[in-house]
Structure 1
Amino acid sequence: MNDSRIVSSEELFSELRYGRPVLLQIDNSAGSAKGLVVAAAELCTPEHITFMARKARGLVCLGLTAARCQQLSLPLMVEGDEEAQPFTLSIEASTGIDTGISAVDRARTVRVAVAQDATPSDLVQPGHIFPIAAVEGGVLNRVDSAEATTDLAACAGLMPAAVFAEVLDPRGEVAEGNTLLDFASEHGLKVGRVSDLVHFRLANECTVERIREGSIDTAHGAMQLTVYREHTQGRVHLALSRGEIREQDPTVVRVHVTSTLRDLVGTTLSDRASWRFDDSLQKLAGAERAVLVLISRPETPDELLAGVDRLLGNGGGDQLQSADGYASVGLGAQILRDLGVGQIQLLSAPVKYNALSGFGLEVVDFVNPGMDH
């Protein structure tokens, strides 16, 4: 959305440094966006909490780095689901508060949690502040609320921690579009986009590097292999490509996260179309320009058993896809940009990818299994 009311990321940084809240739009490839009221955690005041609770009306959360969560011994509520919002146990300051629900009490809890010398004994659980752990690498690896808000604070030169709440409309639903901009105008908030924050970070750093490349023979013909190492976790990821990749011309793309059952056994869920690895490779072989990014994702025993349970009808959802689309877009997007991709014909069911434009990418078409393009 192009609007004169959208300001640069640098202007948002300045607002946070002065202790003023801002509105950050988490924009996606479908052209919609949700909005977060954000304030720097180290400068959090009762007035910030009151505004978020009464005006924004979403759940008041605290974005923290994984290192800070570890420092405070805050375990995740749900382990092993990389696409679920990584909430930790809720918290309360262990001293200096009354019931914990007041704005004064919640602001104190936030400040206690982000104090430089904070220890687990400074907090108790459960409480009235809801921390969310950001992945290492921030929006360059995953584009969601915790990563966006902690990156925003860090880029402002502040502690990488932020208190935030989602903006709801008068009906209590997630506010979008002009409703968000009108909300910001009414309350004097400067508005920025997470895609611009991604672009700002990409101009200064990236979290993957190219370490190997060359031509190889596959079951579906010769392809170019490019190997990348991820700085944050040290994992190695692969990209297979063919043809002359040009930014202005659509490229057939598959970003494929490894799965033991789907890729080695060849299973799929009966109610959901899915691209197997070999099918994806065959599709690439017939395209003029194509890239397959293979994201290495080690599976824990619990994750493998959860996949088995889904196949056997024992419950569980698709761990690799959240209800509102993929948030973990950054890693694959960085690789695609390094290879020169701009416009994408994506081998996937239609989903919304957060901040994709910040990486200079645009999805022009989705291709489901069995479709001829």
Structure 2
Amino acid sequence: MLDFNTIEEVVEDLQNGRMVVLVDECEAVGEGVLVMLAEQATATSVNFMTRCASSPPVVAASRKHLKALELHLQVSKAHEPMDASIMVSVNARAIAGTGVSAQDRAATIRKLADPDSVPEDFVQPGHVTPLQAQPGGVLRRAGHTEASVDLAQMADCQPVALIAAILDEAGALADASYLLDFAREHDLKITTIHDLIAHRRRTEKLIRLEAQSPMPTRYGEFTAYAYRSLVDDNPYLALVYGEVADGRDTLVRMHSGCLTGDALGSLLCDCGEQLAQSMQLIAAEGRGVIVYIQHHEGRGIGILHKLKAYELQQQQGLDTIEANHALGHPMDSRDYGIGAQVLYDLGLRRVRFLTNNPKKRVGLDAYGLTVVEQVPIEAAPNPHNIRYLTTKRDKMGHALLLKRPAAEDENHAKSA
């Protein structure tokens, strides 16, 4: 789209001390933020962000940088919005005022970006809130926090950025049209997270192929490709059936590992049945890929915490989301950016996505993949998992019809 600037143009403006506008979607209502390098913050820039964006600026920084300053999460991740990592607010110890003024905030922001700062340079709580970016940046999580830190690093500066959400006159999140007008009015460059992901995908690779071997299965002969993430060292296993690098639409299942469902035959979820159906469908089609993500166990909380969540569901009547929150975990902490890189590395470009979860496909086009179809994959509910499946449909937006076998006893479902 001609109205948006290139990543190179945006980085150049950041290096020259200017602000830029960063948008998460170029054609939809979505959040846009003002971004500048935190080390160049002044009272004037802080005041501009507050007045023109209509929201208080916050500091986005890498996990490593915030850890060195011994800054901690404000609340448990179970209660953080949109998987954000919000840290305890701070003031620079050296400021003379209360920390509220634009001058004081700018001093705190610059101190947060200073590579020579130490934990003793700050007091908590204060009036500047840091946000923690995920390692791997937008190739792991396509958020404004990660994107702004990525841009700061691409500008050869400290991994610390100053951002402020842009609101419209009604106080709502501005849409793309408003954001384009805002950028033109203030003579600011504007780009999208989509374009940043595409840029990084072209110039960086965060996976490494470790092994490749034929794998005969009861559904046919697949080829197993074992990848390792260079971000967190986690394995990603791709099971490939047939020729998938020919540019044609390809069936794909991004499967979160589930020891209890996949290997032990648990009836508390539908994971094992979805994996089996995926392999059957792909074998019948003659081509396709399953990316098996082992560390996604329990939507990212691990096998021990998943079993603790089961215990809470049985003893206290909590649903799967409530149990996660009770244990201090978010509803869903999975990300699929590295899995998307695996698919791209295998030569896929157009995918038919085997999933009931619409969130799995969000943002995949930025990784060079076009989702041409979402193919539902639904197992028949049983008395043990009907509540779990209902929760996924009603609270997580999964496309499930939950058609029950005619002979199934309704009383069992009510007591599950």
Query: Partners in 1 of 2:48 and 2:360 — Cα distance?
Result: 29
Q: Could you tell me which residue of structure 2 aligns to residue 26 of structure 1?
A: 24
Q: Could you tell me which residue of structure 1 aligns to residue 36 of structure 2?
A: 39
Q: Could you tell me which residue of structure 1 aligns to residue 123 of structure 2?
A: 124
1:80 Cα shift?
7.2
**Conservation of the 8 A alpha-carbon contact between 2:336 and 2:360:** no
1:298-320 deviation digits (Å, cap 9, x = unpaired): 64544653465467425256978
Of 132-141 and 79-88, more deviation after overlay is shown by: 79-88
Q: Does 1:346 align with 2:343?
A: no
SS in structure 1 of the partner of residue 377 of structure 2: coil
Q: Does 1:145 align with 2:152?
A: no
Q: Could you tell me which residue of structure 2 aligns to residue 335 of structure 1?
A: 342
Query: Partners in 2 of 1:136 and 1:256 — Cα distance?
Result: 22
User: Counterpart of 1:177 in structure 2: which amino acid?
Assistant: A
SS in structure 1 of the partner of residue 318 of structure 2: coil
Q: Does 1:360 align with 2:368?
A: yes
1:302-357 deviation digits (Å, cap 9, x = unpaired): 465346546742525697866xxx98332111111001111121122223755433
Query: Partners in 1 of 2:6 and 2:181 — Cα distance?
Result: 18
User: Counterpart of 2:70 in structure 1: which amino acid?
Assistant: S
Query: Partners in 2 of 1:274 and 1:106 — Cα distance?
Result: 52
Query: Partners in 2 of 1:173 and 1:49 — Cα distance?
Result: 21
**Conservation of the 8 A alpha-carbon contact between 2:23 and 2:176:** no
Unaligned runs of 5+ in 2: 379-398, 400-416
User: Counterpart of 1:102 in structure 2: which amino acid?
Assistant: S
SS in structure 2 of the partner of residue 351 of structure 1: helix
Of 236-245 and 45-54, more deviation after overlay is shown by: 45-54
Change (3 A) 1:117 1:66: same
Output aligned runs, 1:35-114, within 5 Å: 35-76=32-73, 77-79=75-77, 84-114=83-113
Query: Partners in 2 of 1:185 and 1:352 — Cα distance?
Result: 34
Of 304-313 and 225-234, more deviation after overlay is shown by: 304-313
Query: Partners in 1 of 2:313 and 2:20 — Cα distance?
Result: 41
Output aligned runs, 1:1-373, within 5 Å: 2=1, 4-27=2-25, 33-76=30-73, 77-79=75-77, 84-246=83-245, 248-260=247-259, 262-263=261-262, 264=264, 265-268=266-269, 276-297=274-295, 299-300=301-302, 301-302=304-305, 304-306=307-309, 309=312, 312-313=317-318, 315-316=322-323, 328-348=335-355, 349-351=357-359, 355-370=363-378
What value does the CA root-mean-square deviation take over the aligned residues? Answer: 3.0
1:268 Cα shift?
3.3
1:172-201 deviation digits (Å, cap 9, x = unpaired): 222122111111111211111222222222
Q: TM-score, normalised by structure 1?
A: 0.87
Query: Partners in 1 of 2:129 and 2:179 — Cα distance?
Result: 23
Query: Partners in 1 of 2:165 and 2:23 — Cα distance?
Result: 10
Query: Partners in 2 of 1:340 and 1:32 — Cα distance?
Result: 32
Q: Which structure's residues are more often helix, by fraction? A: 2
Of 211-220 and 221-230, more deviation after overlay is shown by: 211-220
Query: Partners in 1 of 2:367 and 2:51 — Cα distance?
Result: 35
Of 223-232 and 289-298, more deviation after overlay is shown by: 289-298
SS in structure 2 of the partner of residue 27 of structure 1: coil
**Conservation of the 8 A alpha-carbon contact between 1:153 and 1:162:** yes
SS in structure 2 of the partner of residue 202 of structure 1: helix
User: Counterpart of 2:373 in structure 1: which amino acid?
Assistant: D
User: Counterpart of 2:182 in structure 1: which amino acid?
Assistant: F
Query: Partners in 1 of 2:307 and 2:120 — Cα distance?
Result: 35
Q: How many residues align?
A: 363
Q: TM-score, normalised by structure 2?
A: 0.78
Q: Could you tell me which residue of structure 1 aligns to residue 404 of structure 2?
A: none
1:210-245 deviation digits (Å, cap 9, x = unpaired): 111121022422111111011122111101121221
Of 185-194 and 253-262, more deviation after overlay is shown by: 253-262
**Conservation of the 8 A alpha-carbon contact between 1:251 and 1:290:** yes
Of 303-312 and 115-124, more deviation after overlay is shown by: 303-312
Unaligned runs of 5+ in 1: none
Of 243-252 and 12-21, more deviation after overlay is shown by: 243-252
Change (3 A) 1:90 1:228: same
Query: Partners in 2 of 1:236 and 1:81 — Cα distance?
Result: 28
1:78 Cα shift?
2.3
User: Counterpart of 2:365 in structure 1: which amino acid?
Assistant: S
User: Counterpart of 2:53 in structure 1: which amino acid?
Assistant: A
Change (3 A) 1:307 1:207: farther
Change (3 A) 1:310 1:103: farther
Query: Partners in 1 of 2:161 and 2:242 — Cα distance?
Result: 44
**Of the two structures, which has the highest relative contact order with CA contacts closer than 8 Å and spacing of 6 or more?**
1
**Conservation of the 8 A alpha-carbon contact between 1:327 and 1:353:** no
